[in-house]
Chains A and B, each alone.
Chain A
Amino acid sequence: MNSALLIIGLVTATALGLGLAARRGVKMTLEQWTVAGRGFGGGLVFLLQAGEIYTTFTFLGGSGYAYGKGAPAYYILAYGSLAYILSYWLLPPIWRYAKQERLVSQSHFFARKYDSPGLGILVAIVGVVALVPYLVLQFKGLGIIVSVASYGSISSSAAVWIGAATVTVYVMSSGMHGVAWNAVVKDILILAVVVFLGIYLPMHYYGGYGSMFHAIDAAKPGFLTFKPTGQSVLWFQSTVALTALGFFMWPHAFSAVFTARQERTFRRNAMLLPLYQLILLFVFFCGFAAILKAPGLTGGNIDLSLFKLSIQTFDPSFIGVIGAAGVLTALVPGSIILVSAATLVANDVLRPLTPGLADEKVTLAARGLVPVIALVAVYFTLRGGETIVALLLMGYAFVTQLFPAVVCALMARNPMTRPGAVAGILVGVAAVAYVTLTHSTFVSLLPFLPAKAGEINIGFAALILNVVAATVVSLATRPSAVTAASRLG
């Protein structure tokens, strides 16, 4: 065992220990397990929310996308900022309604607003479907870190199993309690590592940012700007729009809103959190630095770029520190996602379908579902080949389909009817599933469109179909229209 693996192993063991210690003296009811009894203070909630952006997605995915695709990676910097601006007006009414109705999940929000338990179940299922690729990318990240830090002595598929097993044990034992402790450690460690690497690598190899970007531009003309076709400006615009609208539609992000103590928190975060996003620049710099110094990674392997360059640059012991930071960026969000997905299935799908189910049974089901969901994610991880960014965009394509129904529900007079909401979500999700499963494009779904429309992010294209379907069905099922029709009939 080399020193890199040793350090990673120690940090992982400490994280597990902290997680286990955190549950001491806590009776694990469902509320304790999923939201830690709503006992987190404002500072911790801020960290959990702000830390959301420091997942494996940004650490390995962001640098990998900059390395492999160039300019398209810029979208990662743009969407969070716009999402936080939207949140200034979007989150306070959600929070007020949730407080007034004592809601605990996103699914409850829909079920109550549209007076339809069925819609609540549909929303929960969409949430779980969207969370799976998000979990897959965390596992993929863990696999990369462990196998690279072992300098090849652990295969990447074995590393995925180790990573998945660690997250599962961690979550099953302590739930959200363990997460809170480690979130703090993770944020400090990853901030330090990312800022250091983002400054050191370009300085060390190129002498500065300007000369680095000049060198990349000379070697790969057009790489640092959006392409005329494919991942074009149109792709950027539709992708930023999709991800900015979907930012708070993730089941875990939506219900995290409920934990705030007062609504002013959201408005203050709307001005503070965008600045926190700028740390992502340093992640991009790592990826860009690797383009010319650690070339040759293609396809799903572009996510290795940060590590490949680091291994050429640093001692194994420092690789261990980077790896340990990376493990935490996958472990903490991975746990949050796993807890959310298991709770969604148990509480928002099984419970409404089996009336009279006792709370203890639901808790038991949620914890029992953790390894099942983890196994599903491991299956997709090993089948893999997708880049981390492509996986997250897939999740976004699903979860953003909930946005129109949420916004309409917040209006004083909801223009969307229950069948309208169901139709919109079903059409949007079906379009995304079709394109994803058949590996086709949006244009093959609607062949009369010009080829340029194929550059529109599929999730955004599906969102347009979603709104059209919801509008048509809502108009047809408007209470006034129905009464008029019944009067005629």
Chain B
Amino acid sequence: MTVVRWLAILPFLGILVGVGFVNRVEPLVLGMPFVLAWIVGWVVVGSALMAIVYALDPANRQGEPVAREDRP
């Protein structure tokens, strides 16, 4: 877990640092300006990385046997 946790840093690097290097329109990706598509990409990747972190985090496996929570 301690190693996996560092995955969460990547979206911060991608969005906060990366945007400085991809600040351009071409090539369009899925019809969007490149810099916008880059940010969208990191939102999706960020969600996937958090799914990995969630799955491997022992805190989410053990305990909390209290009644199953309502799903949204």
Q: Are A and B physically bound partners?
A: yes
Q: Which residues of A contact B (CB under 8 A)?
A: 41-43, 46-47, 50, 71, 74, 77-78, 81-82, 84-85, 88, 208-210, 212-214, 217, 224-226, 233, 236-237, 240-241, 261-265, 267-268, 270-272, 274-275, 277-278, 281, 284
> Which of chain A's residues have a CB closer than 8 A to the CB of B72?
42-43, 46-47, 50
A243 and B24 CA atoms in complex are apart in Å by 24
Within 8 A of A (CB), among B1-30: 8, 11-12, 15-17, 19-20, 23-25, 28, 30
The residues of A that contact B19 with a CB separation of less than 8 Å are 226, 233, 236-237
Identify the 9 closest CB pairs spanning chains A and B, nearest first. A209-B31, A46-B72, A42-B70, A271-B50, A210-B31, A224-B33, A81-B43, A274-B47, A271-B51
**In the complex, which residue of chain B has the Cβ closest to the Cβ of A234?**
B20
Given known contacts A43-B71, A88-B50, A226 and B43 CB-to-CB distance under 8 angstroms: no
- Provide 20 A-B residue pairs closer than 8 Å at the C-beta atoms, listed in order of the A residue: A41-B70, A46-B72, A77-B39, A81-B15, A81-B46, A82-B12, A88-B53, A208-B31, A210-B31, A213-B25, A225-B23, A236-B19, A240-B16, A262-B64, A263-B64, A264-B59, A264-B64, A265-B69, A271-B54, A278-B44
Pick from B16, B35, B64, B69: contact of A237, CB under 8 Å: B16
Q: Return A401 CB to nearest CB of chain B, in Å.
A: 20
Q: How many residues of B contact A (CB 8 A)?
A: 38
Q: Do A74 and B11 contact each other (CB < 8 Å), given the known contacts A42-B69, A213-B25, A225-B24?
A: no
- Tell me the complex Cα distance, A237–B23, Å: 12
- CA of A272 to CA of B51 in the docked complex: distance in angstroms? 8
Interfacial chain B residues near A213, Cβ < 8 Å? 25, 28, 31-33
Tell me, in angstroms, the Cα distance from A224 to B22 when the chains sit together.
12
Q: Taking CB as reference atom, which chain A residue is nearest B43?
A: A81
Contacts of B25 in A (CB 8 A): 213, 217, 224-225
Q: Tell me, rounded to whole Å, the shortest Cβ–Cβ distance linking B4 to chain A.
A: 12
Contact yes or no, B40 A274, CB < 8 A:
no
- In the docked arrangement, what's the CA distance between A261 and B8, Å? 25
Interchain CA distance A457-B47 in the complex, whole Å: 27
Residues of B contacting A41 in the complex (Cβ-Cβ under 8 angstroms): 70
B48-62, CB under 8 A of A: which get 1 and which 0?
001101100101100
B23–chain A nearest beta-carbon distance, Å: 5
Check B70 against A74 for contact (C-beta < 8 Å): no
Question: Complex: how many Å from CA A209 to CA B37?
Answer: 12
State whether A85 touches B46 (Cβ < 8 A): yes
Contact of A233 among B12, B23, B36, B50 (CB under 8 A): B23
Complex interface: chain B residues within 8 A of A277 (CB): 43
Report B's interface with A, CB cutoff 8 A: 8, 11-12, 15-17, 19-20, 23-25, 28, 30-33, 35-36, 39-40, 42-44, 46-47, 50-51, 53-54, 57, 59-60, 64, 66, 69-72
The smallest beta-carbon distance between B27 and chain A, in angstroms, is 10
**Are A270 and B28 in touch, CB under 8 angstroms?**
no
Tell me the smallest distance from the CB of A49 to a CB of chain B, in Å: 10
**Cα–Cα distance between A236 and B17 once the two chains are bound (Å):** 10
Q: How far is the CB of A387 from chain B (nearest CB, A)?
A: 20
Give the nearest-CB partner of B31 in chain A.
A209
Contact B70 A43 (CB under 8 A): yes
Interchain nearest-CB distance for B8 vs A (Å)? 5
Given contacts A84-B50, A240-B15, 19 further A-B contacts (CB under 8 A): A42-B69, A43-B70, A46-B72, A50-B72, A81-B15, A81-B43, A81-B46, A210-B31, A224-B25, A226-B23, A264-B59, A264-B69, A267-B60, A271-B47, A274-B50, A275-B43, A275-B44, A278-B40, A284-B36
B54 touches A268 (CB 8 A): yes
Question: Which A residue sits closest to B53, measured CB to CB?
Answer: A88
Check B35 against A78 for contact (C-beta < 8 Å): no
State A268–B16 Cα separation when bound (angstroms). 24
| Residues from chain B with Cβ under 8 Å of A212 in the complex | 31
Q: A81-B46, A225-B24, A267-B57 given as contacts; is B35 within 8 A of A71 (CB)?
A: yes
A267 in complex: contacting residue of B16, B46, B54, CB < 8 Å: B54
| A237→B35 CA distance, assembly (Å) | 13
Q: A213-B28, A265-B69 are in contact. Are A241 and B44 (CB under 8 A)?
A: no
Chain A residues near B70 (CB-CB < 8 A): 41-43
Evaluate contact between A74 and B36: CB separation under 8 angstroms. yes
Contacts of B53 in A (CB 8 A): 88, 271
Q: Is the CB of A85 within 8 A of B8?
A: yes
Instruction: Report B-chain residues with C-beta under 8 Å of the C-beta of A226.
Output: 19, 23, 35
CB distance from A195 to the nearest CB of B (A): 15
**Residues A233 and B20 in contact in the complex (CB < 8 Å), given A217-B25, A262-B69:** yes
A70 to B, closest residue via Cβ: B33
B16 contact set on A, CB distance < 8 A:
82, 237, 240-241
Separation of A212 and B59 alpha carbons in the complex (Å): 47
Query: B residues within 8 A CB of A264?
Result: 59-60, 64, 69
Measured between C-beta atoms, what is the minimum distance from A446 to chain B in Å? 23
- Quote the shortest CB–CB distance from A405 to chain B (angstroms): 22
Which residue of the partner chain A has the closest CB to B34? A225
